[in-house]
Amino acid sequence: MKIIQLLFILSIFTSCEFSTTTTKTTTSTEAETSQPPVNTEEARENIDTVLEKWHKAAAEAQFDPYFELMARDGVFIGTDATENWQNQEFRDFSKPYFDKGKAWSFSTIERNIYISENNQTAWFDELLNTQMGICRGSGVLELVDNNWIIKHYILSIAIPNENVTEIVEIKKDFDSSFIAKFDK
């Protein structure tokens, strides 16, 4: 038992030592190759603009502008449990709606934006007025070539707490059959 404890302590010490060395090396390398420092307030404004353009492109059924604001490896998670789309799958699903000139229309009620310490990643949450009523969106953006792009987006329908029991009852059959697909 004492040998295991000693090995554990040694591994922690070695990891810390390696981590310190690696951090110094990485920091030096990053300083040489990273993008210039980002003004946080300006970054928030830019991110807000990207999200507003993205929602507007959907409302106006502008397919290319909408998807140009998403990363090629971006993910969109919709309100249904089956809606976990990689970019191309989401394009394929969305195209008929955009082609008909009627995608979806989300207007922002409230948005909170947070930016990572290295100013390369941001995440947000937003309340939206939609054709489904009040929804919550959240996601992640990445700074690529000085442009913020959407990497991950999750849309959920906001359900008042006093209606949760009713909604759970409505979803019961779906949930059971959906979960059964994963039980093997």
User: 143 near 38, Cβ under 8 Å?
Assistant: yes
CA nearest neighbour of 35 among 103, 102, 119, 161? 119
Residue 96's pLDDT is 97
Looking at domain 40-163, its CATH class is: alpha beta
Tally of residues, the chain: 184
Residue 39's pLDDT is 81
The H-or-E segment that residue 147 falls in is strand 147-157
Residue 170's pLDDT is 93
User: 41 near 119, Cβ under 8 Å?
Assistant: no
The letter for the amino acid at 110 is E
Between CA 119 and CA 127, with CA 121 as vertex, the angle to 5 degrees is: 115
**Residue 119 — φ and ψ, nearest 5°?**
65, 25
The ranges assigned to domains in the chain are 1-33, 40-163
Pairing of strands 84-86, 107-115: unpaired
Average pLDDT, consecutive stretches of 10 residues, N- to C-terminus, the chain (184 residues): 38 36 33 56 96 98 98 97 96 97 95 96 98 97 97 97 95 89 81
| Residue at token pair 């008909």 | 100
Residue 121's pLDDT is 97
